[in-house]
Amino acid sequence: MKNTNTFSILFWLKLANAKNGKAPLYARITVNGKRAELSLKRKLLVSNWDANKNRLKGLSDVTKIFNNYLEQVHSELFESYQELKDKNQLVTAQLIKSSFLDNGISNHALSDIIDYHNEHMKSTLRWGTQKNYFTTHKYLYLFLKQKHKTTDMFLSQLSYKFIIDFERYLRHQKSMGNNTVMKHIERLRKMVSLAYKMEWIEKDPFIKFEAKYERKERTFLTTNELQTIEDKQFDIPRLQLIKDLFVFSCYTGLSYGDVMGLTRDNLCIGIDGKQWIYSQREKTSVPVKIPLLSKALGIIAKYKTHPNSINKETLFPTISNQKLNSYLKEIADVCRIRKNLTFHIARHTFATTVTLSNGVPIETVSKLLGHRKITTTQIYAKVIERKVSEDMERLEKCF
């Protein structure tokens, strides 16, 4: 018996679910008056949608690509319908939808992988890293809006040209250096790589891209500068606290996050029978074991009974990194230190002035800093070598 059916496909925006001027896009499959709705997992600006033509308005390249995608979806749905009909099988809107979903084209967008990454990586990434990704997302959004006149695109549209265009766009942002640009590109790369591994895209657009970082000198305090800060006593409690935290880091090599996370449980008796800190780097989760020098022990003892430390059950009163670095600028001014003093400089000072300059082997310093590779620590050794060379040049002029 001949199989006759009425069949139609309609693309439409679900205005009932519109938010911020955008509505989700659906395909409506109708067979013999029975419907099945298929979400295309895209949200479009209602003002850009032509309800009569069931297509995006305009003649831009992005509009043409998207409308071609809709033609492709239409073709896939029709093929699913035709296949069922040719096999003389039951033809329903739901069966066509199921067939399309089993064999259909990938329609994942850039926003899909961003959302997926945010949701599935928040349990493994520290909050600071997550915020960096949010910043990258912001620049991607602005780039798409300003350069492509859209707010999203299909992953299949990503190309090497898109990457270098995004890089060029970032380089024109105010106060953004080369390494910051590369960090944003690397975060995009990690998300796209995740999409590739999940087979959301057929090829990796980053395969020809090579990130190029610039070597930066590590800023650190000299022995005299460190001593100046140590000797300075502040009447303002907040400045005295920041000074003590900074000096503690200079003699342990611990970062801001590592210091703020210390509790009494991190104080242990080491192999030599003395007080050590047993912890792990917040950034990399690498275990670290640090023998405590007398100056560091003195600072721990000073804040043992501080109300904030007792309340938080931490070794030190907690303070935000932003405030801490702001107060360090005040300390630098008072101590007449002409360097952009940040808390991380304390870690650099530990690596250079406190350890390497005093003959501590680089392998030991690497362990104390929690570096995975000794090549990371060797950067500090090169800084020391350059300083030795400069000092010798000055000495040469004396003779």
Angle (deg, nearest 10), helices 160-171 and 178-197 = 150
In the block, which residue shows the tokens 């990503």? 158
The tokens for 56 are 């995006």
- Rounded CA gap, 380 and 358, in Å? 13
Contacts 24+ apart (CB under 8 A), 271-280: 277/252, 279/254, 280/370
Pick the more confident residue, 221 or 3: 221
Whether the predicted pLDDT of 104 surpasses 60 = no
**pLDDT for 262:** 97
Report whether 84 contacts 31 (CB < 8 A): no
Other Cβ atoms closer than 10 A to 27: 21
Of the listed ranges 11-25, 90-104, 268-282, 349-363, the least confidently predicted one is 90-104
Whether this model's pTM surpasses 0.85:
no
The sign of the torsion formed by the CA atoms of 49, 55, 57, 62 equals: positive
Using one digit for the tens of pLDDT, what is the confidence trace for 180-235? Answer: 999 999 999 999 999 999 888 888 999 999 999 887 778 999 999 999 999 999 99
Per the DSSP assignment, residues forming a β-bridge with 280 are 287
Q: If you compute the radius of gyration of the chain from its CA atoms, what whole number of angstroms results?
A: 30
Using one digit for the tens of pLDDT, what is the confidence trace for 259-274? Answer: 999 999 999 999 999 9
- Rounded CA gap, 295 and 244, in Å? 10
- What is the rounded average pLDDT for all residues in the chain? 90
Q: Is 33 exposed, middle or buried (0-12, 13-18, 19+ CB in 10 A)?
A: exposed
Whether the predicted pLDDT of 253 surpasses 90 = yes
Percentage of the chain exceeding pLDDT 90:
65
Question: Residue 365 corresponds to which amino acid?
Answer: V
The whole-number average pLDDT for the span 131-146 is 94
Per the DSSP assignment, residues forming a β-bridge with 13 are 25
Report whether 322 contacts 303 (CB < 8 A): no
Instruction: Report the chain's terminal Cα–Cα distance, integer Å.
Output: 110
**pLDDT for 111:** 86
> What's the order of all strands across the beta sheet hosting 267-269?
267-269, 275-280, 287-291
The domain ranges of the chain are: 7-103, 110-197, 223-396
Pick the more confident residue, 30 or 389: 30
Whether the predicted pLDDT of 1 surpasses 70 = no
- Rounded CA gap, 263 and 313, in Å? 6
* Residues in CB range of 261: below 8 A, 6 or more apart: 279, 282, 314
The whole-number average pLDDT for the span 3-29 is 90
Using one digit for the tens of pLDDT, what is the confidence trace for 41-82? Answer: 889 999 999 999 999 998 888 888 889 999 999 998 998 899
Give the three-class secondary structure for 139: helix
**pLDDT for 106:** 57
Domain boundaries 223-396, corresponding CATH code: 1.10.443.10
**pLDDT for 338:** 94
Whether the predicted pLDDT of 112 surpasses 90 = no
